[in-house]
Each structure stands twice: as C-alpha cells, then as structure tokens.
Amino acid sequence: MCDRVRIWRFLDMGKGSAFFNMALDEAIMLLLKSGKSRPAFRLYGWEPSAITLGYSQRTAEVLDYEKCRMHGIDVTKRPTGGRAVLHHDEIAYSVTSDIDDPYFGGSIMDTYKSIGMVLCNALKALGIDTDLNKSRHDQTGNRFHDHNSCFVSTARYELTYGGKKIIGSAQRRFKNVFLQHGSILTGPGQENIFDYFNDGNKPLNAINVIRQKSIHLKSILGDSFSENKLRKALFESLKNTLGGNVTPAEPTYEELNLAQRLMNERYGSKEWVLGHEKRTHI
C-alpha cells in the first residue's frame, strides 16, 4: 500500500474517443481499487468532439441524442458526476488515487483543493494567475445555477480567471479510492453545447451567460499559447507537489484490456448511454 501510494504515474496521452477516455479512467480506478494498479495523473484529448454527461444526468432529458450523432458528436456518460460538457478545444485531466493518499487524500473538499493547487500552479507557470473558488455553492449570479451545462457556474475549488471559469472538475468516490477529472478549456466553442440540448434546455440568453461565465487559455495567451507547454507545466507542478515521486508512464496492458471491455459494454453502448445500464465487475 505504501509503495503504491508513494510512486505516481504521469500518463500524458494523445486524443481518443469519448468512449475510450471514460472507459480508461474507470479501468484505472477499478484496478487501483483492487490493488492491481498505481495512482495516476492522466492528460488526454478528444477525437471526435464529444459531449459527456454526469453519471446521474438522464441523457434523453438533456440532449438531442440523434442530432449529436448526425453531426459527428460522440455522446457518453462519465463515471463521475457534474453536468454536461462539450469536449472540443480542451485538454482533459484525470486523477485516480487512494482516499488516504498523503498528497491528495482526505475529504472530497481536501482533494478538490489539493488537485486545484496543482492546476493553479501549472497555469501560473504559463503566466496566468488563477483563483480557487472558495464558496461552498455555485457562483452564477443568475437563474442558471441549476442548468445542465457545466460552464455556466463555478463550484468550490474550481479555477477562475478574472471571475470566469477556466477549468471544470468532477469527482466521485468508490470506497477506498476516488476518481476526479476535468476539462481545461484551451479554446472557444463551449457555448455550442446548446446546439445539442433539447428545446426545453435552451434559455434564450444561455449562450451569452456561458460566454460571460467562462474563459479559455487562447483568449488569455493569444498566439503564445502552446499545448505542449501546458502539458509540461502540469507535469512539473505535479512533480513539485509529489516531491519528485512521479514518473512518466503508459497504461498497463490490464488497464487497456479492461478499458476495451468497459467501452464495449458501457461507454460505447447506445443502450447504456440512454439509460439501460449494464454492470461490469472485475
């Protein structure tokens, strides 16, 4: 247990489908939970663009699923909570660890704060001074606090720049381990999520609200933005937090094998995404 907690893996990966991305996050968590994997901090992208929903959201109540598929937008659910996110111009991160980890363990809020500081310090290295939201409740200043889109509000210990949300995160705990992942907005387009919402989820000024409440890295850094620099900054920030006890790595064969199984049975299954869940055990 101590060795498993002490040595972290940094999985810097390329783009994958939403089905694979969510399946691999869960596979790492399940294998860590059973003592067969090590804690991991993972970076990844999305191809094609996708919309993911929190595990408690009902897909058919939020999205026009067939319109998404017609436009080449993958749709799946996350193993964590939260609200709908359009994954387009962004880098995603995930953190999978034991809840008693000396660096990221503790209560849910302790974990959000610790991971938030890693993200905050990485952006600071790029010249971006962000804030960790301190409120216990969503900060919207309008009637959209219960809306189905992630980036219309900011929860506690999510990152903001100039009062605007720049990283959205969600966490879920599974007995002795947790999985937290989130979206680091690198470019525009998050407001396009409303093109795929059901008519009842399209307030007239929601697009303006999401533009007022969120911001992306390219709008701050302009032409100086570099995805490679961001990835390196995240690794250095993590290494500093862990006292150097982290090494670049790849997913294990067992993690990839389980991810393929989860992708086939759950995340890539229209039946499961629309609410007919199949349970998978290891």
What is the percentage of the chain residues whose pLDDT exceeds 90?
73
**Domain locations in the chain?**
2-273
Q: 45 has which bridge partners? A: 15
State how far the Cα of 24 lies from the Cα of 38, in Å rounded to an integer: 14
Highest mean pLDDT among 7-21, 133-147, 264-278: 7-21
4-51, pLDDT tens digit by residue?
Answer: 446 899 999 999 999 999 999 999 999 999 999 999 999 999 999 999
pLDDT number for residue 140: 42
pLDDT number for residue 75: 98
Q: Are 95 and 110 in contact (CB under 8 A)?
A: no
pLDDT value at 125 more than 70: yes
Scored b (16 or more CB within 10 A) or e, 231-241 reads bebbbebbbeb
Active-site amino acid positions: 150
Could you tell me the two tokens for 71?
A: 């436009």
Per-residue pLDDT, averaged over 103-107, amounts to 95
At 142, the pLDDT band (50, 70, 90 cuts) reads very low
Per-residue pLDDT, averaged over 78-95, amounts to 94
State how far the Cα of 3 lies from the Cα of 28, in Å rounded to an integer: 17
At 63, the pLDDT band (50, 70, 90 cuts) reads very high
The residue among 76 and 211 whose pLDDT is bigger is 76
At 146, the pLDDT band (50, 70, 90 cuts) reads very low
Per-residue pLDDT, averaged over 142-170, amounts to 74
Q: 248 has which bridge partners? A: 10
Per-residue pLDDT, averaged over 141-164, amounts to 68
pLDDT value at 277 more than 70: no
pLDDT number for residue 2: 43
CATH second-level architecture of 2-273?
A: 2-Layer Sandwich (3.30)
Q: Are 63 and 75 in contact (CB under 8 A)?
A: yes
Q: What is the pTM of this model?
A: 0.91
**Residue whose token pair is 């879920």:** 172
pLDDT number for residue 281: 46
pLDDT number for residue 83: 85
Taking all residues of the chain, what is their mean pLDDT, rounded to a whole number? 88
pLDDT value at 270 more than 90: yes
196-250, pLDDT tens digit by residue?
Answer: 988 766 666 767 778 888 999 999 999 999 999 999 999 999 999 999 999 999 9
pLDDT number for residue 150: 65
Per-residue pLDDT, averaged over 101-117, amounts to 95
Per-residue pLDDT, averaged over 77-96, amounts to 94
pLDDT number for residue 155: 74
State how far the Cα of 151 lies from the Cα of 140, in Å rounded to an integer: 10
Could you tell me the two tokens for 272?
A: 């499961």
pLDDT number for residue 204: 63
Q: How many CB atoms lie within 10 A of CB 189?
A: 13
